[in-house]
Amino acid sequence: MRFLETFNPELVVASPGRINLIGEHTDYNMGYVLPTAIERKIVFKFQKNASDRECNIYSTGFKTGFKLNLDRISKSETEWENYILGVLHEILKRTDKLQGFDCTIQSNLPSGSGLSSSAALECGLAFGLNELFHLGLTKRDIVQLSQIAERTYVGTECGIMDQFASVMSEAGHVILLDCRSLEHRMIPIQLHPYKMVLLNTKVSHNLASSEYNVRKHECEQGVAVIQNYFPEVRSLRDVSKNMLDECSDKLSHTVLKRCSFIIAENERVLQTAKALENHGLGLVGQLLYEAHEGISTLYEVSCSESDFLVEFAKTNPAVLGARQTGGGFGGCTLNIVHQEAVSDFVKEASLRYLEKFDIELEAFEVYPSKGTTSFFSK
């Protein structure tokens, strides 16, 4: 693209991916989650350009880019462009201060791996434009408009967790987030002598986005039935196990499984937060295994590759717990592994995984990291 010849960026933004320690699919059920940003990120570089409305976006990884006009924003046929276009659409609804800009994007965050490269892309763009043009958006605005962008332009009816974690996280902490009120508490996470290790299955089954929305609708179907008995219920977050038991024969087998998972998972988030505060890492590990069991058998958003890695982790006494993290159908498993055993664990897992699926496993340690950061380079 032409602008690259003279590109002289004035603002740099680092927009991180996230892991979720526990609390999967609870966000759109208005429950609790326990995520944190990681140090893998998307880096944006921005400059204002001379035009009023023309913008250029270039991805150095994909080696491709596109031009757009702020007066003619509409959905694209190219999926990744829709994350950008959706955010611009939402910003333009809120302010008329946006003007022409050029931007490059570079990532070391594997996409489609359950680490939320989507939210990093949306929030990093919104964060950068907010600084570049003094739009006056709060961090919470950035989180919320990014979520809406993903829903309307990409079509995933996502919850708020990923955007919130990418923007708001603090180093050394996980966020206990109430996805209904957005009240949150930073919980210090002391893992020593354990490490968090991600094993990337390198599969992202294309069921992921279609089945995601199906799960959300199944939960809503459950709520609609439960409300006949408990009218005060607004979402699965308000339903206890006893309440569900009372309505169980009115729910289809599938919807009952989905609801059971969400209710138990929500409880597991609160138990995990408590265990972290009491340095009960052993219990955290056990809850991770329980969560994966539910993800696989009740919510049915796992896959044979993730299940294999979690089962493998269970055979190693140096692993406290493991589960698939993120939306599902592949991506990464999160493992809590004793620091002295990490290298053998990764070696053995890689060998077994290669033998079984003929795929080279990717493994890396992650640390709870700070949310979006930026600096002006001029």
Q: Which residues bind ligand GAF (CB under 6 A)?
A: 20, 24-25, 27-28, 116, 158-159, 161-162, 326-327
DSSP letter (8 states) at residue 246: H
Residues 6+ apart with CB under 8 A from 102: 3, 7, 46, 47, 49, 55, 56, 57, 58
* Minimum CB–partner distance for residue 281 and ligand GAF (Å): 22
Q: Which is nearer to ligand GAF, 132 or 199 (CB)?
A: 199
Rounded to 5 degrees, what angle do the CA atoms 94, 95, 97 make? 160
Active site residue 102: no
CB neighbours of 241 closer than 8 A, spacing ≥ 6?
A: 260, 263, 264
Which parts of the chain are beta strand (E)? Answer: 11-20, 32-33, 35-48, 54-59, 64-69, 101-107, 173-178, 184-188, 194-204, 319-325, 330-338, 362-366, 373-376
We find the least distance from the C-beta atom of residue 36 to ligand GAF, in angstroms, to be: 14
In the complex, the smallest distance separating the C-beta of residue 331 from ligand GAF, rounded to whole angstroms, is: 9
Choose between 150 and 305: whose C-beta lies nearer to ligand GAF.
Answer: 150
- State the greatest distance between any 2 C-alpha atoms of the chain, in Å, as a whole number: 67
Q: Which is nearer to ligand GAF, 157 or 277 (CB)?
A: 157
- Report, in Å, the least distance between residue 347 CB and ligand GAF: 29
Q: Which is nearer to ligand GAF, 59 or 116 (CB)?
A: 116
Q: What is the DSSP string of 328-363?
A: SSEEEEEEEEEGGGHHHHHHHHHHHHHHHHS---EE
Shortest Cβ distance from residue 219 to ligand GAF (Å)? Answer: 11
Dist. CA 237–CA 264, nearest whole Å: 10
Taking the complex as a whole, how short is the minimal distance between the CB of residue 156 and ligand GAF, in angstroms? 6
The CB-of-182 to ligand GAF minimum distance in angstroms stands at: 13
Catalytic residue among 27, 162, 238, 307: 162
Q: DSSP letters along 247-296, please?
A: HGGGS-HHHHHHHHHHHHHHHHHHHHHHHHHTT-HHHHHHHHHHHHHHHH
CB–CB of 137/109 below 8 Å?
no
Of 104 and 144, which has the nearer Cβ to ligand GAF? 144
Q: How far is CA 12 from CA 17, 54, 234, in A?
A: 17, 20, 41
The residue among 54 and 220 lying less far from ligand GAF, judged by its C-beta, is: 220
- The residue (of 19 and 363) whose beta carbon lies closer to ligand GAF is 19
> Any idea which residues carry the catalytic annotation?
162
